[in-house]
Structure 1
Amino acid sequence: MYKKLLDQADVIIFDLDGTLYEGTEHFNLHVDNLKQHLNDEKKEKFQSIYDQILKGDHPVQIGKIYDGKRDIVWTWDPFTEELTEAHNWEGEVVNVQDAPKTIAAHEFDFKNWVPIGDGWWPPYAIARHFGIGTDVIQASYNRTKEQMAELDGYLKQTPGLKGYLKELQQGRRLIVCTNSDEVDAKRLLKFLDIDEHFEELIPSAMKPVHTKKHFSYVLEKYHVKPEQAVSVGDNFMNEVAPALQLGMRAVWLTDAKEKPVEHNQYVLTDTLAQ
């Protein structure tokens, strides 16, 4: 079904990390890098929490919001932008008197309000919980991205993707919009041997804060109506919800079996090509 949706598009905007290459081993590498800043006891606790998250047995989950000021986790509706419920790290519901009732995507500052949109962010939240500073976390992230290109097994080309992109390229404009910086994004696209298939790269995009701004720019630049454009990504808050809000369509790359929000303008799939 997703291929029919892409075939009908004039412009397709792709995410990069978690979308144009396969594998999740790099998240474990990031966890290992972060743990190096803790003593042995906290390393074990860090790993235990991360294992719980992967099993779905912890309040920190994809689609939640990490409140860095209060060190709690919020349930957030990406359409109404309501903060509906808060949990502490033991999974208990907590009553917060001084928190706003809503928070808009443009208010995410990635310090006090952090959207947990994909696999990079649970390790971030755990690190913050254990007192690791944001500058150290960023350095670990940068190091992990470097290791992914240097070490075997961390960057896996999606079988058939290069040929599928070449096919999609005929009569369509393919764009990459990523939170990775320009140097990193270009390195990854070249390493994956798919850089030639994209007309434009939008790096350091600060999604989801600026997602709609970037998408609106693409619609205006290429003179296409929202319904003629499709966003493809693995992060519901970064790539899917903003596209739907603009009237675009979307493909959500996910292992989820059910949609968090019912909407006929997007589809779920666990792979982009075979």
Structure 2
Amino acid sequence: MLLPIALSFYYSVCDFSLLRAPVYVGADNYRDLWHDQVFWKALRNTFYYAALALPAGLCVSLGLAMLLNVRMPGQAIFRTIIFLPSLVPIVASAMLWLWLFNARLGLLNTLLARLHITGPGWLTDPTWAMPSLAMMSVWGVGYTVVIYLAGLQDVPRELYEAADLDGAGTWQQMWHVTLPMLSPVIFFNLIMSIIGVVGVLDTPYIMTQGGPVRATYFISMYIRDSAFSYLKMGTASAMAWIMLMIVLALTGVAFWSSRHWVHYERK
């Protein structure tokens, strides 16, 4: 494991492609990226996607988990339905959403047309392309829902009974019992989601290939193109290290902030 990490850092300071041996160039790759407008565009797009998809995924999955935690007839069936999309292959999911987002024949615009609303070009309009990808990311929250559900079922019932005796309503119990007790699980899902959204590649690449006009071109796509299309392994390695530093910085901020909102049960 350490060897690939060491080699990737070595390649990041080399002029290296698959056609010739690596030549040490120091920080030239990083300096070139500093002046590369495509790199900055990809970086901005990555942060924009993260700002949309991260809270959407965490909030929707938490809401679904709370609904599934309520005892009701057919509870197991609903849980299965929520989890099933996570088992669908990525290519199949992407093809389904390509049809849903189709500007002329897609289901979304067909429904909007029945309401006399002209739907946008979800994946062809630069304004709507990124929100559309963020919307699709919610499709795969099944694993996150399962983790939340396990955490919810681990909350002691005695706490709800005590809160009920104190006159706390449903919303008060959620804010003062459920969320504090669930905060370690929320924190875990936050860290995993940060890693996922910063390194997202497969679904956007299948659906938009970074378009239109690079409106959905992420840093992970630029790494792939640099390595396998342009054969610039040194540049790709440098970007990979920058992406790693971004993930470490964001997770570091999350760990720092967790002291103020994550509550661990002390026995």
Please identify which structure carries the higher strand content.
Answer: 1
Q: Same fold (TM over 0.5)?
A: no
Of structures 1 and 2, the one with the larger relative CO (CA 8 A, separation 6+) is 2
Give 1 or 2 for the bigger CA radius of gyration: 2
- What's the TM-score, normalizing by structure 2? 0.32
